Amino acid sequence: MEKNKKIIGLCGSLRKGSYNAMLLNLAGSLIPEGIEFEIVAYDDVPVYNADHDLPEVEERPASVVRFRDALATADAFIIVSPEYNYSIPGGLKNAIDWASRGKDSPLMHKPVALMGATQGMWGTVRMQAAFLPVFTFLNMNPVLQPEVLIAQAQNKFDADGNLNDEKTISIIQKKIDNLISACKV
């Protein structure tokens, strides 16, 4: 009997009231029953320093061990992030750096769906492009279509954090469906 699937969500914004946190919550709500979804925080993960990583030390920092152990339970990932300076936000990239190290990387060879929301006009296109070399290095299976690039997010989410654009919701649903299909490969 096949085990139940689990999808881990990572949010590139740590900001209270983040459109990307709202988007990640929505994406999680679109995952079918029977597939577990968990958002994993990384705000206590220290800045990457190889002097505090294997093999230089016997054990990584406790917050890193917890983070990597949580990621190791995933069959697939959803990463939702804003774009900072045309790229991946530093905190998220740092967490990915910790998770990518070693032959025991919990990210290796797993499907990933990338999405983003911004108040600007470009909809996180540059951040998403910046992730492609990371996914290549980790031999991940990025679900490239459909692209979820939410521009002018302030006009698409209501005061309660609900996305009020049905076309965008249907695109997100298709992305989730494609991620689940990638888990079955």
Single-letter residue type at 54: L
Q: How many CA atoms lie within 13 A of 85 on its CB side?
A: 3
Give exposure, 52-83, as e/b (b: 16+ Cβ within 10 Å).
ebeeeeeebbeebebbbebbeebbbbbbbbbb
CB atoms within 10 A of CB 86: 11
Residue range 137-161: average pLDDT? 95
pLDDT of residue 122: 86
The pLDDT confidence band at residue 107, using thresholds 50, 70 and 90, is very high
pLDDT of residue 1: 35
The pLDDT confidence band at residue 4, using thresholds 50, 70 and 90, is confident
The pLDDT confidence band at residue 184, using thresholds 50, 70 and 90, is confident
CB 142 within 8 A of CB 79: no
Q: Is the whole model's pTM more than 0.85, yes or no?
A: yes
Alpha helices in 36-165 (DSSP H): 62-72, 90-100, 125-137
